[in-house]
Structure 1
Amino acid sequence: MLICCGEALIDMIPAKTKDGQDAYVPHVGGAVFNTAIALGRLGTEVGMISGISTDPFGERLKEALGASGVDTTRLIRADRPTTMAYVTLQEGSASYSFHDENSAGRMIAPEDLPALPETCEALYFGGISLAVEPGAETYATLCARECADRVVMVDPNIRPGFIRDEAAFRDRMDRMLGQADIIKISDEDLDWLQPGTQGSSEKARALQAQTGALVILTRGARGAEAFHAGGELQVPARTAEMVDTVGAGDTFNAGVLAELSARGRLSKDDLAAIDETDLRAALDFGARVAAVTVSRAGANPPWRSELD
């Protein structure tokens, strides 16, 4: 089993009413939620740890997870509001305004964390859940508790406007990236974490040397690069008629994890010794499923049957 740890929220997507007025339509979402949904649809055994409200939006999130085959038994339910993300789309690219004060997702504490099953082979962390306290430190606690025994993947997925304490966030990222076996990071996120004139590939190479992790650098339409102890490789993005990019990176992460799991590579030893064939296949599968997501509106990852 893979367990995704982080936010589940409601994306308020711009739309038009029948008479042409501006409006928002609620859609289930969140970076970690999207990855869990994508893994479930790809047929991977997956669960989720997240603070979920008991309000109608929280019920909708729980039902959506179950409908895509995600185990919901470790959700942390609370009588607090659901996080809302108001989305702005410009030429298909999304930016977000988050409303998260006192939310069910944000207010989880270490004592709320569930025990993990022995069948859990990997944990995935990322998104805005790593940016705001107390929940961010709760996820950091879980990462530190489990990283010696299970594969950890981290995608910072940084939203600079959402970070209130930059020093604390950078400290948390240093700790979690140092505990990770897989780091997936976009070129924009890497430039934010490591300001300077070096190119993204040089920065990713340095991050790999510093952490010892498999580092996957994504460049949007320019594809992805991987840096690991055995070398480097590049995989192009798949061609797609883009509608928007909502959930593209999250789906890519799911594809990579699903393929690594299917190939029996989700253990610390197997990742450390991964060969180019398996790594290229995992990145290419991530690009394949992400291309489906960008070809339709919102975060709507493909089912395995759509890929056959």
Structure 2
Amino acid sequence: MPERMLCLGEGLIDIVTGPTSSSERVGGSLLNVAVGIARLGRPASLCAHWAIDPRGRMLGEWARLAGVDLIPGTESAPRTPVAYARIDDEGRASYEFDLAWAVPQPPDLAGFGHLHTGSLAVTLEPGGSTVQALTSRMRGHGTVSYDPNIRPAVMRKPAAVLERVERLVRMSDVVKASDEDLRWLYPGTPVADVLRRWLATGPSMLVLTRGPAGADALLAGNRDMLHLDPIRVTVADTVGAGDSFMAGLLTGLCDAGLLGSPRARERLAAADWPDVQPALHRAVISAALTVGHSGAYPPTMAEVEAIRATDPLLRD
């Protein structure tokens, strides 16, 4: 079974405004994850939708320099999507968007062992329905991961997207969400209750990121929840941190033989904490390296290994 990973969803330009400055940077959740996967040493492809204009050329160059293969049709949009990211005094980002999303040329899934999707690509039409159909097809011969990556500025209200989010959760082997995602989707419901409910619908692994409080993980084969402490760094901003976490997690699970084929799905469903802890550590380190830089900085495997070497507790 092929080990190449396909990221399906948006690439865009982040116009980042902070307390004292403004800049344009490449971004978009699925582009960030694809570049993160490639920088961590795994082959990655991206199916996105932007234009051949100055901003689109920035996105294409960034992806290709990282070694990401662009699916035909990615550079066929009428305009390149833009996200307006505003950074507060603590480095946290909030977003507004100017974008359209479609999948003009659905990729042939036969060449991929794993599909990752999420964020706007799942909920924004006309592309969202195509993403659902491709995700369903992928389950026949490979594994699937999903990150809701909630964007209230586009998704508007929970009732508008909840059914689709839950459907993608059911179709996925690995799901990562933030505590902010779950509080928005299920106001008033404890996030631990949401995670247990989601786990019962089909995923083998759930990870909840909690910003500076670290992350929690659940496995279908273990009744306990594992807490992951964060790595303390000076925060430049949080742009792309969740995407780097996802890239670290996916490449780590793939390296462990827990993603990429139906057999890998079976192994993940039976996995226990020693099987997945190296991947979780890689995810935490990757996110920490990202927040130490401005923008969606994707760390390399060499950078991750350098951090692991400084802490014996991260080596297992």
TM-score w.r.t. length of structure 1:
0.90
SS of residue matched to 1:250 = helix
Amino acid at match of 1:116: L
Percent of aligned positions that are identical = 36
Judge conservation of contact 1:248–1:293 (CA < 8 Å) in 2: yes
Unaligned runs of 5+ in 1: 17-21
Map residues 269-284 of structure 1 onto 2, 5 A cutoff. Answer: 269-284=266-281
Instruction: Kindly state the Cα deviation for residue 159 of structure 1 after the two structures are TM-superposed.
Output: 0.9
1:8 is the counterpart of 2:11: yes
Amino acid at match of 2:228: V
Judge conservation of contact 2:170–2:198 (CA < 8 Å) in 1: no
SS of residue matched to 1:162 = helix
Amino acid at match of 1:291: A
Map residues 158-197 of structure 1 onto 2, 5 A cutoff. Answer: 158-164=150-156, 167-197=159-189
What CA distance in whole angstroms lies between the structure 1 residues aligned with 2:212 and 2:204? 24
1:98 is the counterpart of 2:97: yes
1:138 equivalent in structure 2:
130
Kindly tell me: are residues 224 and 290 of structure 1, through their superposed partners in 2, closer, same or farther at Cα, counting changes over 3 Å? same
Unaligned runs of 5+ in 2: 306-316
CA RMSD in angstroms, aligned pairs only: 1.8
Deviations 1:35-93 (A, max 9, x none): 11111111111111111212221122111101011112445331500111111001200
Instruction: Kindly state the Cα deviation for residue 275 of structure 1 after the two structures are TM-superposed.
Output: 2.1
1:204 is the counterpart of 2:195: yes
What CA distance in whole angstroms lies between the structure 2 residues aligned with 1:79 and 1:211? 35
Amino acid at match of 1:107: A
1:244 is the counterpart of 2:242: no
1:125 equivalent in structure 2:
117
Instruction: Kindly state the Cα deviation for residue 307 of structure 1 after the two structures are TM-superposed.
Output: 2.8
Judge conservation of contact 1:4–1:123 (CA < 8 Å) in 2: yes
Deviations 1:106-137 (A, max 9, x none): 1335xx2021243x211101122223110111
Provide the aligned length of Structure 1 versus Structure 2: 295
Instruction: Tell me which of 191, 199, 218 is aligned to 1:227.
Output: 218
2:313 equivalent in structure 1:
none
What CA distance in whole angstroms lies between the structure 1 residues aligned with 2:33 and 2:234? 22
Amino acid at match of 1:147: R
Kindly tell me: are residues 224 and 286 of structure 1, through their superposed partners in 2, closer, same or farther at Cα, counting changes over 3 Å? same
Instruction: Kindly state the Cα deviation for residue 15 of structure 1 after the two structures are TM-superposed.
Output: 6.2
SS of residue matched to 2:194 = helix
2:311 equivalent in structure 1:
none
SS of residue matched to 2:200 = helix
Instruction: Tell me which of 286, 289, 313 is aligned to 1:289.
Output: 286
Kindly tell me: are residues 117 and 212 of structure 1, through their superposed partners in 2, closer, same or farther at Cα, counting changes over 3 Å? closer
What CA distance in whole angstroms lies between the structure 1 residues aligned with 2:132 and 2:92? 29
Instruction: Kindly state the Cα deviation for residue 230 of structure 1 after the two structures are TM-superposed.
Output: 1.8
SS of residue matched to 2:216 = strand
Instruction: Kindly state the Cα deviation for residue 28 of structure 1 after the two structures are TM-superposed.
Output: 0.6
1:259 is the counterpart of 2:259: no
Deviations 1:278-301 (A, max 9, x none): 212211110001100000101111
What CA distance in whole angstroms lies between the structure 1 residues aligned with 2:30 and 2:201? 25
TM-score w.r.t. length of structure 2:
0.88
Amino acid at match of 1:97: E
Amino acid at match of 1:241: T
